[in-house]
Amino acid sequence: MKIRNIAIIAHVDHGKTALTDSLMRQTGAAEEGVSMDSNALEQERGITIYSKNASIFYKGTKINIVDTPGHVDFGSEVERVLRSIDSVILVVDAQEGPMPQTKFVLKKSLELGLKPIVVINKIDKPAARPEWAHEKVLELFMTLGANENQLNFSVVYAVAKEGVAKINLKDDSKDLSPLLETILKEVPEASSPELSQKPLRIQPFNLAYDNFMGRLAIGRIYEGVVKTGNVFIKNTGGATRTGKINKIFTFEGLKRKEVAEAAAGDIIMIAGLPDIFIGETICADPDQEALPAINIDEPTISLNFLVNNSPFAGREGKLVTSRQIRERLERELEVNVGLKIDFSAGGYFKVYGRGELHIAILLENMRREGYELQVSKPQVILKEENGIKLEPFEEVTIIVSANMMGTIIKKMSKRKGNITDVSQEQNNSRIIFEIPTRGLLGYRGEFIIDTKGEGIMYSRVIGFRPFVGEINRQALGSMVSMADGKALGYSLYNLQDRGVLYIGAGTEVYIGMVIGNAAKGNDMSVNPTKGKQLTNMRSKASDEALTLTPPLELTLERGLEIINDDEYLEVTPKSVRLRKQFLTEIDRTRAKRQKVL
Ligand SMILES: Nc1nc2c(ncn2[C@@H]2O[C@H](COP(=O)(O)OP(=O)(O)OP(=O)(O)O)[C@@H](O)[C@H]2O)c(=O)[nH]1
Ligand SMILES: [Mg+2]
């Protein structure tokens, strides 16, 4: 069987999944309406979170496709995948052109020696500028030091959503055949009789989990033929252990199909190796050489997961105990490769992740399954090397209308951001900063407000650098309830001038719950349950209908962003609430004093 292995890579939203879906539809690998974004959260948010495998058949060749996530928090997934395929389809939006994540994934691909096929997508958009986008992509290849062979990349224009691709913009095309032909022409064949005759070597690049089969490894067979039975596993440190493969699957469309054996070149899933990990080598003989290791990016932020002990604990969740939360987190570690958890501290679990979205997705999945818990403020992970304190830095690309530039630069410099590049395009300015992750935490919300939701901001971690010292940023205080009960419209009306409220009238509150922010900067104890004094006097003002500004709804991501050091975010299947760690003002004052002493 002839096999080609490709990955689809791009900046977020440029159309990777739409293209994969259309390829499956055209080749009959999946029916109308079936999407690679199969997970409920993916469908709701319209983004890919987990990279996934599919395979299609075209003119007798099997094409294994890995669809990758475009969001930076999941960027390390992409890197792992790139190691295991032979070519990439780089999708670029015909209106936006190359964006920060385009640059990142292209750079990785070029470094690995891959020759990409470029798909200029969304040419149906009214503002599409496909020729300009093509030129920009070529410039990017050159900036990134592509070799001559790589610079000679093929270009295909597409409307992925509708399943149409063409080699020349003027061509008349009804389907994706021009792209499929390009794949057959450009992507090296993965299988050959010689490779199949060698002793077995498989390297997993992804993990999955099944309730019955346990941990599953998704990997590429580099050499040999795999059958069920005993194998040797070499880890990246050089140690060898034994294992037994008891099931082998290949992909057909999105589905997996159990097979008795599979040969070199194919991408497969195997069951039976409960401790298998990314980058290890599964082989037939203990003397075989291990394949080069696959790097896994280190986490950049950490936070604590705790049993919920708020006055409302257990009201909305079914799975609330420390043991239940621990078991769930242990299960997550089976597949969530970027995640690390320290279970050793008493009273909480320390969770290390790749970014706020990475953590938010885990919490969202947990609350949907009925879990209830609370978490602390995410902290940036600091490292020490040769006695020097290091902290993670990010490259931030901001695109705003030209008149916003001043404000943005002022705010970013305050947070220790340095400009590395500024350019103008159409009516927008594109500014690139390098900034410590610490400085960036909590800025996103402010950016959205400053640019009225029209600014674009992308960031990605670029590595650890020397710690830049204290960052003075104007933190917002919290409005803390000093009463239990139902919030009343009358008191919220009086409070809404002093900060942004997170709750509306009728919300149940408890002592120590954070109900809004305090614009002045310091925490403020308030009583949101106070009703109007009853008097015989009629006052005109108070009798007019009280118009409340709609509250700022606390989502998980927003909560993780605005939470202060001395607070917890309470997460239940129905609610996301902020609270003080110490509920009463007396306890908070005492805690603060003890810290100082
Ligand atoms: N107009 C137009 N829209 C498209 C086209 N292809 C995809 N889209 C839309 O673009 C949006 C994003 O598409 P996806 O395929 O989810 O993008 P993606 O690259 O997989 O996104 P992530 O996986 O989250 O990085 C969706 O709303 C699609 O319907 C196209 O050819 N034309
Ligand atoms: Mg996608």
Nearest atom, ligand 1, residue 71 CA? 25
Token pair, residue 275, equals 């401790």
Closest CA to 64 of 158, 164, 190, 201: 190
Backbone angles phi, psi at 193, to 5 degrees: -60, -35
SS3 43: helix
Contact 372, 573 (CB under 8 A): yes
Closest CA to 572 of 244, 346, 312, 328: 312
For ligand 1, which residues put their CB under 6 angstroms from it? Answer: 10, 12-18, 46-48, 69-71, 121-122, 124-125, 159-161
- pLDDT, residue 542, reads 53
- pLDDT, residue 543, reads 45
Question: How far, in Å, CA of 232 to CA of 280, rounded?
Answer: 10
Distance 13 CA to ligand 1 centre (A): 5
Token pair, residue 405, equals 């530039």
- pLDDT, residue 237, reads 85
Site to substitute for ligand 1 among 8, 9, 14, most atoms within 8 A of C-beta: 14
Question: How far, in Å, CA of 5 to CA of 203, rounded?
Answer: 14
Taking each continuous run of H as one helix and of E as one strand, the counts in the chain are: 17, 34
pTM above 0.85, yes or no: yes
Question: How far, in Å, CA of 19 to CA of 23, rounded?
Answer: 6
- pLDDT, residue 331, reads 92
Nearest atom, ligand 1, residue 125 CA? 1
Q: How, if at all, do strands 154-159 and 117-121 pair?
A: parallel
Distance 95 CA to ligand 1 centre (A): 13
Question: How far, in Å, CA of 490 to CA of 548, rounded?
Answer: 9
Smallest-distance ligand from the CA of 21: 1
- pLDDT, residue 326, reads 97
The DSSP secondary structure of 438-477, one letter per residue, reads: HHHTTHHHHHHHHTTT--EEEEEEEEEEE----------E
Closest CA to 372 of 417, 458, 310, 431: 310
Smallest-distance ligand from the CA of 71: 1
Contact 269, 249 (CB under 8 A): yes
Find where tokens 């990349």 sit.
153
Residue nearest to atom 32 of ligand 1 (CA): 122
Q: What pairs with residue 58 in β-bridges? A: 61
DSSP state of 546: P
Distance 324 CA to ligand 2 centre (A): 32
Name the burial class of residue 123, with classes exposed (0-12), middle (13-18) and buried (19+) by CB atoms within 10 angstroms of its CB. buried
Residue positions counted in the chain: 597
Site to substitute for ligand 1 among 9, 11, 12, 13, most atoms within 8 A of C-beta: 13
Question: How far, in Å, CA of 413 to CA of 18, rounded?
Answer: 39
Site to substitute for ligand 1 among 8, 17, 164, most atoms within 8 A of C-beta: 17
CB atoms within 10 A of CB 450: 16
- pLDDT, residue 302, reads 95
Helix (H) or strand (E) holding 433: strand 428-436
Question: How far, in Å, CA of 100 to CA of 98, rounded?
Answer: 7
Q: What pairs with residue 227 in β-bridges? A: 261
Helix (H) or strand (E) holding 569: strand 567-571
First to last CA, the chain: 73
Distance 35 CA to ligand 1 centre (A): 12
Distance 315 CA to ligand 1 centre (A): 39
Distance 46 CA to ligand 1 centre (A): 9
Give 499's contacts (C-beta < 8 A, 6+ positions apart).
Answer: 476, 477, 479, 516, 517, 518, 519, 520, 524
Residue nearest to atom 11 of ligand 1 (CA): 13
Nearest atom, ligand 1, residue 70 CA? 25
Structure-derived torsion over alpha carbons of residues 186, 190, 195, 199, reported in degrees to the nearest 10: 150
Give 97's contacts (C-beta < 8 A, 6+ positions apart).
Answer: 129, 132, 133, 136, 137
Smallest-distance ligand from the CA of 89: 1
- pLDDT, residue 544, reads 54
Site to substitute for ligand 1 among 161, 162, 358, most atoms within 8 A of C-beta: 161
Backbone angles phi, psi at 106, to 5 degrees: -70, -40
Residue nearest to atom 2 of ligand 1 (CA): 122
- pLDDT, residue 533, reads 64
List, run by run, the mean pLDDT of 10-residue segments along the chain (597 residues). Answer: 95 96 92 84 89 93 95 83 95 94 93 97 96 97 96 97 96 96 96 95 93 94 97 92 96 93 96 94 94 86 96 96 96 90 93 91 96 96 92 93 90 93 87 93 81 86 90 81 94 91 94 92 91 60 68 91 93 97 93 76
Torsion sign (Cα): 29, 159, 92, 70: negative
CA distances from 163 to 20, 23, 102, 157 (A): 9, 7, 22, 11
Token pair, residue 77, equals 């997934």
Distance 176 CA to ligand 1 centre (A): 16
Backbone angles phi, psi at 595, to 5 degrees: -65, -40
Question: How far, in Å, CA of 197 to CA of 556, rounded?
Answer: 52
Distance 163 CA to ligand 2 centre (A): 15
Nearest atom, ligand 1, residue 91 CA? 19
Give 315's contacts (C-beta < 8 A, 6+ positions apart).
Answer: 572
CB atoms within 10 A of CB 138: 16
